[in-house]
Amino acid sequence: MDSQIDWHAARAALDWQLEMGVTETISDTPINRFEQIAPPPKAGVAQGAQAAVQPVSAASAFDPVTEAETLAQGAQDLARLQAVMADYPHCELRKGARNLVFCDGVAGARVMIVGEAPGRDEDRMGKPFVGRAGQLLDRMLAAIELGRDRAGAQSVYITNVLPWRPPQNRDPKPDEMAMMLPFLKRHIALANPDVLVLMGNVPCQALLGKRGITRLRGAWAEAEGLPVLPMFHPAYLLRNPAAKRDAWADLLNLRARLDMKA
Ligand code: URA
């Protein structure tokens, strides 16, 4: 009996540590991960002989959003984009995350789904929407003959506004969204979908500059030169099953649009 209690207590303690972001259990000496991430270059610090003679201007002051834009624009394909995001040091979320969650599904699919940020399961697996909300998303897509594991016209491509899990699944902060937005925009351009589906308020805020999913859902809008359909987030649907009726209407709306432009 005692050993059973010990087992459960040990298991709970382990789960708690994983939840807190523990990834190493074998080091004898502690590793300070904060020191491993290079601090941003200071404004006006010379990067070479030429930079040393240039005057320090407001334009040369360090800005993580400008740096993200430059890196994102320089990425010529999705693999390169993933690599520059993995190396981007200025978003604090990366410090607590196990994995960069970049995408799932088929690049080039007609439908690109944009969620909010990885949760615990996604952080562990390195893929978006693999937890309970993701399973519901898969069932929703299957109901209109779409899926991340399907090919051709039935395929979808999935990503999130943020590629790293926020601690305790808190809401993304405005500065985190601002610095990751250039990467998301480049991601959309490189994946080249016909339509975007925005799951919940966070992607609506990022790409439409608006929140209020209850009003926005079901109405086609435009972002990044593409038709955009805001929908309730599947996690919201799990908490509010009555909203599934609206979600079903939105799925049929999406299906009709795809069939119209087949
Ligand atoms: N919720 C999201 O918005 N994205 C995920 O990847 C998982 C849950």
**172 touches 206 (CB < 8 A):** no
Q: Which atom belonging to ligand 1 lies closest to the Cα atom of 234?
A: 1
pLDDT for 48 equals 40
Give the number of domains in the chain: 1
* CATH number of the structural domain spanning residue 78: 3.40.470.10
| Residue 119 alpha carbon to ligand 1 centre in Å | 6
Q: What is the distance between the alpha carbons of residues 141 and 244, in angstroms, rounded to a whole number?
A: 13
Q: Is residue 43 part of a domain?
A: no
- Provide the mean pLDDT of the chain: 88
How do residues 118-160 score in pLDDT, each as one tens digit? 999 999 999 999 999 999 999 999 999 999 999 999 999 999 9
**71 touches 97 (CB < 8 A):** no
Q: Is residue 160 part of a domain?
A: yes
Place of tokens 């607590």: 96
222 three-state secondary structure:
strand
Q: Which of 122, 140, 157, 168 to mutate to test the pocket of ligand 1 (most atoms within 8 A of CB)?
A: 122
Q: Is residue 42 part of a domain?
A: no
- Pocket, ligand 1, Cβ cutoff 6 A: 115-119, 122, 128-129, 131, 133-134, 160, 199, 235
**pLDDT average, residue stretch 210-221:** 98
Q: Is residue 25 part of a domain?
A: no
DSSP code, position 147 = B
Does position 101 have pLDDT exceeding 80, yes or no? yes
| Residue 211 alpha carbon to ligand 1 centre in Å | 17
Q: Which of 116, 121, 156, 201 to mutate to test the pocket of ligand 1 (most atoms within 8 A of CB)?
A: 116
pLDDT for 168 equals 93
Phi and psi, residue 53, nearest 5°:
-95, -5
- Closest by alpha carbon to 157, among 117, 108, 213? 108
**pLDDT average, residue stretch 246-257:** 98
Q: Is residue 12 part of a domain?
A: no
Helices (H), the chain: 2-19, 33-36, 49-53, 64-74, 78-87, 93-96, 120-125, 132-143, 174-191, 201-208, 213-216, 234-239, 244-260
CA-closest residue to ligand 1 atom 7? 129
> Residue 220: which domain range?
64-260
pLDDT for 12 equals 73
**pLDDT average, residue stretch 169-181:** 97
**pLDDT average, residue stretch 24-44:** 56
Q: Is residue 24 part of a domain?
A: no
Q: Is residue 200 part of a domain?
A: yes
Question: Looking at per-residue confidence, does 1 or 212 come out higher?
Answer: 212
Q: Is residue 248 part of a domain?
A: yes
